Amino acid sequence: MTTSYGSAEALLTHHLSSHPIVGVRPHVVERTARRMIAAFPGDVLYAVKCNDADPVLDALWKGGIRHFDTASIGEVRQIRRRFPGAICHFMHPVKSPEAIAEAYFEHGVRSFVLDHEEELAKIVQVTGRAKDLDLFVRLAVPGEGAVLTLTGKFGCEVHEAPALVRACRAFGRSVGITFHVGSQCLDPTAFRRALGLCGQVVRETGPVDMIDVGGGFPGRYVGDEPAFEHFVAAIKKAVADYGLSGTPLQCEPGRALVADGASVFARVELRRGASLYLNDGVYGNLAELKWIGPQFPLRAIRADGQRSEAPLMSYDLFGPTCDSIDSMPGPHWLPSDMDEGDWVEVGQMGAYSNALRTRFNGFETGTVVFLHDEAFDRVRLQESRSEATFVYAQAA
């Protein structure tokens, strides 16, 4: 049973641990799910790879999520076991025959993505030329506007897509187009550009049955990232402008659904000048601090509840393993008197944190607890800087 605490403050007062802690806020995840479902004019699929922890999945289900972007047979199995009534969409463009067969025949999956004619042939053959397939052609789109681009691995070029769409029509009960603009996309017009390419395909093939606009909606780490609703507005306008009105839509958010639903708590094991060595890092829950960079809200928490009056300074952070890759370059702004035994709360860590952690080098992956306070983000950081219990840090 997962232990619950009223706040991060209560957690660090009562939870004695030498291991990292992931504090999940289920009520925040549930609320975000309800808001995004209400805002988007179509089905909202949760991208399970982002965070597959049961407490997170349960909160999403409670918030109304019924469709799941599952990218492996393992994810299909997990969702089917936990939510028998859920609808799984196999959104990975390259799947093994065994995974396709199990998904279709054992778990009732009917929605499959592909970006190559050989993948289409594989799906058709393995399912016995089934007549109830929902097939999506993944289109290659530019990665402009995304912090982490996803170009180069998946997606057929726009000039190749019409032939693949037509080929799918010979086998699918429905045929759609999908794309992914890249992870942590900060530019709503990226979706407009991608939908413009969808419009080009549709002009050659005629209307499709569905358009899946993928994921990439950002977490609000710095605080000025466009809200989900701004992306929805850009999508609606592009759909109208490019002759796609009336086509059913779906999206696949992961990060935007769960980022604000958890914090990671890491203890300082050593200070060496402007370097802090933590008990968590790139191979644990903090990989995003390296790949996204020093954008996350941080605050120092002292076990004795005392507040530092020291000015802020920039630190580089290092994880616990022996690998030099396990580093998270700054500037990470924390009090200048940070010392061994202090804890650091990293906010907005519901996405790609515990889902990416490993047991590399034999280090513990951490404990999961529930928190009932509000999400720790830049707004709360600013509002709370005068409180006596916590020390809050912000970029200079």
Give me the pLDDT at residue 390, please. 38
Query: Per-residue confidence at 380, pLDDT binned at 50, 70, 90?
Result: low
Write down the pLDDT at residue 366: 81
pLDDT band per the 50, 70, 90 thresholds, residue 382? low
Write the pLDDT tens digit of every residue in 362-376: 988 788 999 999 998
The CATH 3.20.20.10 domain(s) of the chain lie at: 27-258
The DSSP call for residue 368 is: E
- Please give the pLDDT value at position 188: 96
Residue type, 198: C
Six-digit token pair at 224? 């000025």
Q: What's the rounded mean pLDDT across residues 211-226?
A: 95
Reported as a pLDDT band with limits 50, 70 and 90, residue 309 is confident
CA–CA gap between residue 125 and residue 154 (Å, rounded): 22
151 vs 248: which has the higher pLDDT: 248
DSSP-derived 3-state class of residue 360: helix
> Both tokens of residue 282?
């790139």
Q: How far apart are CA 314 and CA 304, in angstroms?
A: 23
Cβ atoms 301, 396 nearer than 8 A: no
212 and 47 in contact (C-beta within 8 Å)? Answer: no
Contact present, 184 and 255 (Cβ < 8 Å): yes
How many whole angstroms from its chain centre is CA 130?
Answer: 32
Structure tokens, 324: 């030099």
CATH number of this structure's domain 4-23+259-393:
2.40.37.10
Q: State the CB neighbour count (10 A cutoff) for residue 224.
A: 8
Phi and psi of 201, rounded to 5°?
-65, -45
Tell me the two tokens of residue 318: 């290092």
Average pLDDT over residues 54-63: 97
DSSP codes of every residue in 14-33: H---SS-EEEE-HHHHHHHH
pLDDT of residue 365: 79
Each residue of 284-302: pLDDT tens digit?
999 999 999 999 999 998 8
Band of pLDDT at residue 394, cut at 50, 70 and 90: very low
For 229-280, the pLDDT digits (tens) are 999 999 999 999 999 999 999 999 999 999 999 999 999 999 999 999 999 9
319-361: pLDDT as tens digits: 999 999 999 999 999 999 999 999 999 999 999 999 999 999 9
Mean residue pLDDT across the chain: 92
Rounded to an integer, what distance in angstroms lies between the CA atom of residue 338 and that of residue 332? 12
Choose among 26, 44, 17: nearest CA to 248: 44
The type of residue at 84 is P
Read off the pLDDT band of 211 (50, 70, 90). Answer: very high
For 66, list phi and psi in degrees, rounded to 5.
-125, -10
pLDDT at residue 383, rounded to an integer = 60
CA distance 388 to 304: 12
pLDDT of residue 196: 97
Work out the pLDDT band at 381, boundaries 50, 70, 90.
low
CB 187 within 8 A of CB 225: no
Structure tokens at 12: 């660090």
Contact between 73 and 103 under an 8 Å Cβ cutoff? The reply is: yes
**C-alpha distance from residue 104 to each of 88, 100, 127, 130 (Å):** 10, 6, 7, 10
pLDDT (0 to 100) of residue 360: 92
pLDDT at 149: 87
Q: Evaluate if residue 206 carries a pLDDT over 80.
A: yes
Backbone angles phi, psi at 252, to 5 degrees: -130, 60
Which single residue is written with the structure tokens 């413009």? 196
Q: How confident is the model over 112-148, as pLDDT tens digits?
A: 999 999 999 999 999 999 999 999 999 999 988 889 8
DSSP label at residue 156 = B
pLDDT band at 308 (very low <50, low <70, confident <90, very high): confident
For every residue of 280-346, DSSP letters joined together read --TTTT-THHHHT-TTS-EEEE-TT-PPP-PPEEEEEEE-SSS-TT-EEEEEEEEETT--TT-EEEE
Structure letter (DSSP) for residue 223? S
What percentage of residues in the chain have a pLDDT greater than 70?
A: 94
The answer to whether the beta carbons of residues 211 and 247 sit under 8 Å apart is yes
Q: How many CB atoms lie within 10 A of CB 175?
A: 23
Asked if residue 317 has pLDDT above 60, the reply is: yes
Domain with CATH 2.40.37.10 in the chain: 4-23+259-393
The CATH architecture one would assign to domain 27-258 is: Alpha-Beta Barrel (3.20)
Strands 312-318 and 327-335: antiparallel
Whole-number percent of the chain with pLDDT over 90? 82
Stretch 202-230: mean pLDDT, rounded?
96
In this prediction, residue 117 carries a pLDDT of 97
